[in-house]
């Protein structure tokens, strides 16, 4: 059974073909990075216009790379939220039209469910239950995952997402958008213990995150640093990048280990765009190894936004006999706990 998965939640137009819930026949991503780069962030109006231009070619490309025709697609999974409304509308309405014309099932998927399950696309996936840390440009959350479709949020960011902090600091350091990869590269030759940026704790047993204080603190530091020749001779740009990255990693590692202990599970997963960060993966590997916790992460192409993870989440739902109707609408906010509301049994 081939499922077409579509994601247009933010600035990537993605489509993938997943066969039998396990084999990714194609995974096409049309990135809009160049378009948004001059603005230092995603411009929603430009993103949705670009999705309109790209959606058809990207879906066609996913079919041709998979070496199948639309007649061989058994169902369509599409992200309906959370994300940018204008961007989501393009994917959802394209999918609705295609499903109607082809008379095949349509299933609306929560983007976060896609990130949580993306690790199951790998050859040696974890079994349930596990704790998933999803870190991206829009989200930073911890989930207790007990099965397909069974997610309990344990913590979330109260302000900015970790990826947003990476992007903002990268912008101030002149690295452009998106900033995650640039900070990682710059941090490699910096001293991570040189500047003690704040690690917001919220409260001792809270699993919530806060990155806006860190973001502001780093920005203010850079402003002062730029205005002082003495500071610039003592501290390199690379040291700021490394010390900032270390602060983010400390917070993410500490809270996710706490979540694993609280949930009483033995496996941990990290997913989402920021999970591409090798320093984060390395720290989580060390921390989990020390405690005998099994640790899993998807390859970078399944960490950043992609259609394959949406196809996988949709595959499970279609297999369970769930379907979405033509009245399905987009949602800018969409907690995973609300997933059950979007699907109806056939
Ligand atoms: O999951 P994603 O592609 O889109 C959202 O759903 O938001 O994540 C994009 C985020 C951006 O903030 C980008 O800077 C970050 O992932 N990112 C990274 C790295 N590669 C991408 N952050 C840290 N280190 C990286 N290597
Ligand atoms: Zn995402």
CA dihedral 315→316→318→322, nearest 10 degrees, is -150
Q: Is the pLDDT of residue 341 over 80?
A: no
Q: Taking the CB of residue 242, how many other CB atoms lie within 10 A of it? A: 24
Q: Summarize the confidence of residues 276-304 as an average pLDDT.
A: 98
pLDDT, the chain, mean: 95
CA–CA dist 81, 84 (Å, integer): 8
Ligand 1 pocket check: which of 114, 161, 180, 184 to mutate, most ligand atoms within 8 Å of Cβ?
180
Asked whether the beta carbons of 280 and 252 are under 8 A apart, the reply is yes
**pLDDT at site 176:** 83
pLDDT tens per residue, range 52-94: 999 999 999 999 999 999 999 999 999 999 999 999 999 999 9
Q: Summarize the confidence of residues 295-314 as an average pLDDT.
A: 98
**pLDDT at site 41:** 86
- The region of weakest confidence among 102-106, 124-128, 229-233, 260-264 is 229-233
**pLDDT at site 343:** 54
**pLDDT at site 324:** 94
Ligand 1 pocket check: which of 79, 82, 112, 273 to mutate, most ligand atoms within 8 Å of Cβ?
273
Find tokens 């765009």 and name the residue: 273
Q: What is the pTM of this model?
A: 0.95
**pLDDT at site 21:** 87
Q: Is the pLDDT of residue 346 over 60?
A: no
- What residues contact residue 67 under an 8 Å CB cut-off, 6+ apart? 25
- The region of weakest confidence among 101-105, 186-190, 294-298, 331-335 is 331-335
Q: Is the pLDDT of residue 342 over 60?
A: no
Q: Is the pLDDT of residue 129 over 60?
A: yes
Ligand 1, atom nearest to 304 Cα:
3
DSSP of 81-147, one letter per residue? ESS-HHHHHHHHHHHHHHHHHHT--EEEEEHHHHHHHGGGGSSSPPPSSEEEEEE-SS-EEEEEEEE
CA–CA dist 93, 58 (Å, integer): 15
CA–CA dist 240, 41 (Å, integer): 21
The residue whose CA has the least distance to atom 13 of ligand 1 is 180
Ligand 1 pocket check: which of 141, 170, 177, 274 to mutate, most ligand atoms within 8 Å of Cβ?
274
Bridge-based pairing of strands 140-147 and 150-156 is antiparallel
Q: Is the pLDDT of residue 337 over 90?
A: no
Ligand 1 centroid – CA 273 distance (Å):
3
pLDDT tens per residue, range 195-248: 999 998 888 889 999 999 999 999 999 999 999 999 999 999 999 999 999 999
Q: What percent of the chain has pLDDT over 90?
A: 90
Q: Is the pLDDT of residue 340 over 80?
A: no
**pLDDT at site 230:** 92
Ligand 2 centroid – CA 159 distance (Å):
17
Asked whether the beta carbons of 9 and 88 are under 8 A apart, the reply is yes
200 or 116, higher pLDDT: 116
Alpha helices (H) in the chain, listed in sequence order: 33-36, 44-66, 85-102, 111-117, 162-172, 180-187, 212-226, 229-234, 237-263, 278-291, 300-303, 307-319
Start-to-end CA span in the chain (Å): 18
Question: Which residues hold their Cβ within 5 A of ligand 2, which is an ion?
Answer: 136, 305
**pLDDT at site 110:** 96
């Amino acid at each position: 059974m081939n499922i077409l998965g579509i994601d247009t939640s933010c600035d990537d137009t993605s489509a993938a073909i997943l066969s039998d819930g396990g084999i990714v026949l194609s995974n096409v991503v049309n990135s809009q990075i160049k378009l948004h780069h001059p603005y230092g962030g995603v411009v929603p109006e430009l993103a949705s216009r670009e999705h309109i231009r790209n959606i058809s070619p990207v879906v066609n490309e996913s079919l041709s790379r998979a070496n199948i025709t639309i007649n061989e697609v058994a169902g369509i999974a599409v992200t309906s939220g959370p994300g940018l409304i204008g961007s989501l509308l393009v994917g959802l309405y394209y999918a609705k039209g295609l499903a109607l014309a082809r008379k095949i099932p349509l299933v609306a998927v929560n983007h976060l469910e896609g990130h949580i399950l993306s690790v199951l696309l790998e050859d040696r996936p974890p079994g349930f239950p596990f704790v998933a840390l999803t870190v991206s440009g829009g989200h930073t959350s911890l989930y207790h995952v007990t099965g397909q479709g069974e997610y309990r949020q344990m913590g979330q960011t109260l302000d900015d997402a970790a990826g947003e902090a990476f992007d903002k600091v990268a912008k101030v350091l002149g690295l452009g958008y998106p900033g995650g990869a640039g900070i990682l590269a710059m941090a490699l030759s910096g001293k991570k213990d040189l500047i003690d940026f704040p690690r917001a704790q919220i409260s001792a047993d809270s699993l919530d995150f806060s990155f806006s204080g860190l973001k502001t603190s780093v920005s203010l530091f850079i402003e002062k640093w730029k205005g002082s020749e003495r500071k610039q001779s003592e501290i390199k740009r690379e040291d700021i990048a490394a010390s900032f990255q270390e602060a983010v990693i400390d917070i993410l590692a500490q809270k996710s280990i706490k979540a694993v202990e609280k949930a009483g599970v033995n496996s941990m997963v990290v997913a989402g765009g920021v999970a591409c960060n090798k320093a984060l993966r390395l720290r989580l590997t060390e921390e989990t190894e020390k405690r005998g916790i099994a640790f899993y992460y998807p390859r970078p192409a399944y960490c950043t936004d992609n259609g394959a993870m949406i196809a996988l989440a949709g595959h499970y739902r279609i297999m369970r006999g769930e379907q979405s109707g033509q009245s399905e609408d987009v949602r800018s906010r969409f907690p995973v706990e609300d997933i059950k509301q979007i699907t109806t049994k056939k």
